[in-house]
Amino acid sequence: MPPLAIRLAKIVKRCRTDRPERFKLADHDPAERFGLSTDIEDVRAVLAQGMDRLAEMQERLYAHGRWAVLVVLQGMDAAGKDGVVKHVMAGINPLGCEVHDFKAPSAEELAHDFLWRINKHLPERGHIGIFNRSHYEEVLVVRVHPELLERQKLPPNLTRKNIWKHRFQDIRKFERHLTRNGTLVLKFHLRISKDEQLKRFLARLDTPAKRWKFSASDAAEREHWDDYMAAYEEMIRETSTGYAPWYVVPADHKHVAWLIVSAVIVDAIEALKPTYPKIGGKALKELKHAERALRAEGRR
């Protein structure tokens, strides 16, 4: 059996949507483990190695200061988006990472185009930005609940059936703009089964410290499960591109999802080849002068 790192590279390739025109959500089993253990203890060391590699890559990214990284997490409620942030990003420096959780849009946000609130939270160069939900809510929740369009006060002739086609076009162009301006876009759909979601909801209700994470609307949304699956399928088919592909990650086993997301992020940042700045010329002379002064001070 090949080392787990090699296996992960193959797993990542299977999760990446390279031929979106052929994409079918049903081809991706939420409970798929790719032969990985069901016991998190068996992969904990690999998870730790991934966190160490990511911490190093983030430091290089920050020092290099030429690229930004945007990580988009989308999934049904209880799919594990918070867990990915906690377990994959645990070792990185918070000074170079921002997490934004997009809730229902405010009145101010509704008064602007649907990408306006997204632009405000994009990561700066050298930083990693994580969107827990994102601009894709506009072709998921709003599509499943089209009555929400009325709150956006769009001109009536812009809310017809082709609005979703237009939004897909806008998103593709928006992400192309980001990549052309130095932002690496990594998108993950955490795919959870309806049965596993039910188990996690009940576990939350059984745990007093986690009940705050559950609301009655979570249960009500389960009635629209099939509509959401159809919306996710078309969303991925229409917006997975060579410059900003979707990774469809099986999420019924949480640690499997953590391993895959970690591997994708680390490999993608490594491919950017961020380096520490080289100091030369006048700056190097000033640095050496400061070093001599400090060493002289230390000898006193």
11 has a pLDDT exceeding 70: yes
Closest CA to 51 of 263, 253, 254: 263
Model pTM?
0.93
User: What pLDDT is attached to residue 7?
Assistant: 82
pLDDT exceeding 70 applies to what percent of the chain? Answer: 98
* Cα–Cα distance measured from residue 223 to residue 78, given in angstroms and rounded to the nearest whole number: 15
* Cα–Cα distance measured from residue 218 to residue 255, given in angstroms and rounded to the nearest whole number: 23
Query: C-alpha angle 48/49/50, rounded to 5°?
Result: 90
* Cα–Cα distance measured from residue 63 to residue 91, given in angstroms and rounded to the nearest whole number: 17
User: What pLDDT is attached to residue 12?
Assistant: 94
261 has a pLDDT exceeding 90: yes
How confident is the model over 30-58, as pLDDT tens digits? Answer: 999 999 888 888 888 888 999 999 999 99
Q: How many CA atoms lie within 13 A of 72 on its CB side?
A: 23
Q: What is the mean pLDDT of residues 272-286?
A: 88
Phi then psi dihedrals of residue 209, to 5 deg? -70, -10
User: What pLDDT is attached to residue 66?
Assistant: 96
3 has a pLDDT exceeding 70: no
Structure-token pair, residue 17: 């949507």
How confident is the model over 189-237, as pLDDT tens digits? Answer: 999 999 999 999 999 999 888 888 788 888 899 999 999 999 999 999 9
* Cα–Cα distance measured from residue 259 to residue 73, given in angstroms and rounded to the nearest whole number: 15
* Cα–Cα distance measured from residue 156 to residue 150, given in angstroms and rounded to the nearest whole number: 9
Question: b or e along 14-24 (b: 16 or more beta carbons within 10 Å of the residue's beta carbon)?
Answer: ebebeeeeebe
Q: What is the mean pLDDT of residues 106-127?
A: 96
Residue entry with tokens 């078309």? 234
User: What pLDDT is attached to residue 238?
Assistant: 98
183 has a pLDDT exceeding 80: yes
Domains and CATH numbers, the chain: 4-299 (3.40.50.300)
Q: What is the mean pLDDT of residues 61-75?
A: 97
Taking the CA atoms of residue 193, residue 15, residue 165 and residue 173 in that order, the dihedral angle to the nearest 10 degrees is 140
